[in-house]
Chains A and B, each alone.
Chain A
Amino acid sequence: MLLHSNPVVIVGGGAAGVSCALSAAAQGMNVMLLEKTTEVGGTVTRSLIHTLGGLFDDQGNFLNTGLPVELTKRLSRACPHTRKRRIGKTWVLDVNPVVYTNVITDWIKATPNIDVSYRVNIINVSVHAEQIEQVSVTCNGKSRTLRPCALVDTTGNASIVRHIDTELVANGMALGGFIVQLRGIASDALRFPKGVALLREIRKAVNDHKLPPECSTLWLDTGVYPDEVYVKFNVMPEDYDTAHMRCVAKRLLNFLHALPGFGRAFINRHGQIGTRDAGRIKGEYCLTETDIKMGRRFADVACRACWPIEHWHPQKGITLEYLPEGHYYDIPLSSMQVSGFTNLWAAGKCLSATPRAQASARVVGACWAMGEAIGKNILGY
């Protein structure tokens, strides 16, 4: 028998995992947050995501109440450079990923009832009568067995659900990214549309074999500091080679040095490869592109979302499809409840969705809102 005094076990300390932990703890539950690396923050932290999407609607108002709003407040308080910015028809929150990591680390630490473990390996998950019974883990070399009242997979790649049954996970279908932070750049070097002109120069240089082919689809973006630019390379996660991509970044830097505003540019940080879609669970419901385009409402609504369908197709590259003005759709709880289970959930980018639906629903603000909704509904759904 699984008692409610048993902990909620959340595996993966990225956007969805952290918000789920904060929200479940606020309900008075005991929370165990298990992270395989040495820090929380997930993709935002490690891949240097600096524009948080999914927090605002197309008018710049908050889409969801609760933790996404609180997160925005905390990030603004922690760093005066945090700012809301319009990109095309969307609004994002520009952040320094280091500040983001510090803010959420402190937030978790200051919240009672959350026990965070790092360097955790999930060894086994045992199931009985549609319920998760036990989770065996090792943490810093020591083995432990947990009996969770509910298990939430916020690993971003559905690796816990995969452990239980690989059939319950659809494989990922999107390009990944390698992001490099440059500093030392003149403050208006990318001011719209200068960034587009610069991209054009880079692509010409690739055609003329002055730059390696990996630069042909890169993207440039401003950061929070006036002298900062992020370079985003597209990569297939399977083919990614860190040493090679760092070399490509160095060659690009040398090329940029000759362009206006980039004479003193230097590489400040390299991100780790980020995977936009590393697998999606098969949930009680699978969110579709039609749901998104029709602005579908669900009785079991978890949160709202309205990010464009930003699909990074492995072969065709990126396409961006905006939703109509003033439009939003619901993400239902049932798209985060693993099919056939009563106490197994998955939130964040590995929710149950078609590849193009996930291409809208995966943004950071939506992951925060999803995690919060699961934390609130985990026992009462």
Chain B
Amino acid sequence: MEIQETLWNYIINETLGGRLPEGFDGDYDLIDSGTLDSFKMMNLIIYFEQHYQVEFGINDIVPKHFKSVNALVAFLRNKLG
């Protein structure tokens, strides 16, 4: 599956528990809205590390990579080369 689709599915089902907040789109601020708290971010990282066999280092885990679904897609594409 495309990264974008995998990520959308993960965020909608796991992070948001299937409930889309009003105005949710690819630029929706996952951090300011409190959607991606530490627990959910940790789970997301573990999921992607296992799913794509990548490792997230200290410099990968920064707000700009996790700010929105679009930011995450761009970051993951970049990371996977």
Interface residues of A (CB under 8 A from B): 86-89, 192-201, 204, 219, 260, 318, 320-322, 324-325
Contacts and interface: CB of A to CB of B under 8 A. Distances in A.
A200 B60 CA distance: 11
Contact of A196 (B17, B19, B45): B45
A198 B39 CA distance: 13
B40 A88 contact: yes
Q: Which residue among A204, A322, A325 has the maximum number of chain B CB atoms within 10 Å of its CB?
A: A322
A89 B39 CA distance: 12
A196 B61 contact: yes
B17 A86 contact: no
Contacts of B42: 196, 199-200
Given A88-B40, A196-B42, A200-B45, A321 B17 contact: yes
Interface in B28-80: 31, 34-35, 37-42, 45, 55-58, 60-63, 66
Contacts, number: 56
A196 B38 contact: yes
A201 B58 contact: yes
A232 to B, nearest CB: 12
A192 B38 contact: yes
Contact of B38 (A195, A322, A325): A195
A325 B58 contact: no
A321 B56 CA distance: 25
A196 B63 CA distance: 11
Given A88-B40, A193-B41, 13 more contacts: A88-B38, A194-B61, A196-B38, A196-B41, A196-B45, A196-B61, A200-B42, A200-B45, A200-B58, A200-B61, A219-B38, A318-B39, A325-B21
Contacts of A196: 38, 41-42, 45, 61
Contacts of A86: 34
Nearest to B37: A88
Nearest to B66: A193
Contacts of B19: 324
Interface on chain B toward A: helix, strand, loop, or mixed SS?
Answer: loop
A330 B34 CA distance: 25
Nearest to A190: B38
Contacts of A88: 34-35, 37-40
A320 B41 CA distance: 12
Given A88-B39, A201-B58, A192 B21 contact: no
Given A89-B37, A200-B45, A192 B31 contact: yes
Q: Which 8 A/B pairs are nearest by Cβ-Cβ distance? A: A88-B37, A197-B61, A89-B34, A197-B58, A88-B34, A196-B41, A320-B39, A193-B61
B17 to A, nearest CB: 6
A202 to B, nearest CB: 11
Contacts of A200: 42, 45, 56-58, 61
Given A87-B37, A88-B34, A89-B34, A193 B63 contact: yes
Nearest to A221: B38
A260 B34 CA distance: 26
A197 B66 CA distance: 12
12 contacts: A86-B34, A193-B38, A193-B61, A193-B63, A196-B41, A196-B42, A197-B61, A199-B42, A219-B38, A318-B39, A320-B39, A320-B40
A86 B35 CA distance: 12
Q: Which residue among B17, B21, B41, B57 has the maximum number of chain A CB atoms within 10 Å of its CB?
A: B41
Contacts of B39: 88, 318, 320
Contacts of A204: 55
Contacts of B37: 87-89, 320
A322 B45 contact: no
Contacts of B17: 321-322
Contacts of A193: 31, 38, 41, 61-63, 66
A87 B35 CA distance: 10
A148 B55 CA distance: 62
A199 to B, nearest CB: 6
A197 B34 CA distance: 18
